[in-house]
Amino acid sequence: MKFQQLGSVKIKIITDSTCNLSPEQVKKYDIEVIPCYTVIDGNDILDDGSIPQSEFYDMIDNSKKSQTSLPTPSSIWKAIEKHQDYDHLIMIHVGEKLSGTINAIRSVIKQFKRKNPECPGITVYDSNGVSLVAGYLVMIAKQLVDQGVEVDLIIKELDENRDNDIKVFLTVSDLKKLFEGGRIGRATYMLGDLLHAYPVLSLVDGTLVPVGREIGFERTIGKIIRLIQEFYNEGDEIHISFAQTRPNERNEHFRNKIVHMEKLRITKIEDFLIGNIIACHTGTQVFGLVIARNFRDD
């Protein structure tokens, strides 16, 4: 597809730490990341990568209560103020149905514009997702910026990718955190605990919902494979990012099953560690994958 060239117009991509981009990806794509907070047993922890991931997982496993908190108004303000020399800011964030982050950002933008009437144009974009669902959109947006695409067309392309080309499937073998956070009901929690019947979760219209439930590990993998086959067409080029906390044999088995699926044209396979914000809600016994159709980052 050909895009209209913008010439010297400068656009900055901003996101939040729920996007799960690695430090290397943030540097490569020159992304501004606004940190959120986790709250572990009453202690506020800034989600800025300062705590090693394995150490944070230990904290989650040993915690009595874990929850998340929005970016502070001052951190949002600073991110906008820092990039006032740009013509436009595109702010891509965790889905509005999953978090209050977008509402917090809109509130700060309103205040910022009152005090800085000459500030850049700002577009706040709802990813309808979290983790690398949002992360893929951030990378796609920056690729389009680098191609000189105008803002309206960038947003249209993001809509197309968000609604049609990016999918997440995950499962959790310890449902306690999801239940405590209100993400699943008591019946699902009790069934999983008693029968090892764990839900396969996906994002549907911006909400994390069960799209299947299977008893046992192998049947759960089989369900995810069927869901992938239903979603993607034969011949689609697929970029796969496998999500996990602590690597183990079970996750490697899952990975091998997916990689060797028939009729998928896999362009690249990557692994990433579940971020702090997600782990607070899922616990550490989670694995899955995010798949993007026709995405390349080389």
pLDDT of residue 188: 55
In a domain? residue 107: yes
- Residue that is written with structure tokens 């089989």 in the block: 222
Using only C-alpha atoms, the chain has a radius of gyration, in whole angstroms, of: 19
pLDDT of residue 29: 97
Separation of alpha carbons 79 and 201, rounded Å: 33
- Predicted confidence band of residue 195 (pLDDT cuts 50, 70, 90): very low
97 pLDDT exceeds 90?
yes
Q: Which is higher by pLDDT, 262 or 139? A: 139
Q: Using CB atoms within 10 A of its CB, is residue 24 exposed (0-12), middle (13-18) or buried (19+)?
A: exposed
- Residue that is written with structure tokens 């964030």 in the block: 93
Determine how many CB atoms are found less than 10 A away from the CB of residue 23. Answer: 9
76 pLDDT exceeds 70?
yes
187 pLDDT exceeds 90?
no
Least confident of 9-13, 79-83, 283-287: 283-287
Same domain, 160 and 171: no
Domain termination residue (choose one: 131, 146, 164): 164
Joined together, the tokens standing for residue 209 give 């919902």
In a domain? residue 5: no
Domain termination residue (choose one: 115, 144, 164): 164
Same domain, 134 and 184: no
Q: How many structural domains compose the chain?
A: 2
Same domain, 211 and 186: yes
In a domain? residue 91: yes
In a domain? residue 6: no
Phi, psi of 147 (to 5 degrees): -85, -5
pLDDT of residue 95: 96
Separation of alpha carbons 204 and 232, rounded Å: 16
State which residues form the domain around 275.
165-293
Same domain, 49 and 127: yes
Domain termination residue (choose one: 145, 164, 183): 164
pLDDT of residue 107: 98
Report the chain's mean pLDDT, rounded to a whole number: 88
Same domain, 90 and 140: yes
- We report the CATH number of the domain holding residue 222 as 3.30.1180.10
State percent of the chain over pLDDT 90. Answer: 63
Same domain, 227 and 155: no
Same domain, 171 and 278: yes
Length of the chain: 298
Range 86-97 average pLDDT: 97
pLDDT of residue 190: 46
Same domain, 288 and 203: yes
State percent of the chain over pLDDT 70. Answer: 89
Separation of alpha carbons 282 and 298, rounded Å: 31
276 pLDDT exceeds 50?
yes
Same domain, 179 and 124: no
Per-residue pLDDT tens for 227-259?
998 888 877 899 999 999 988 888 899 999 998
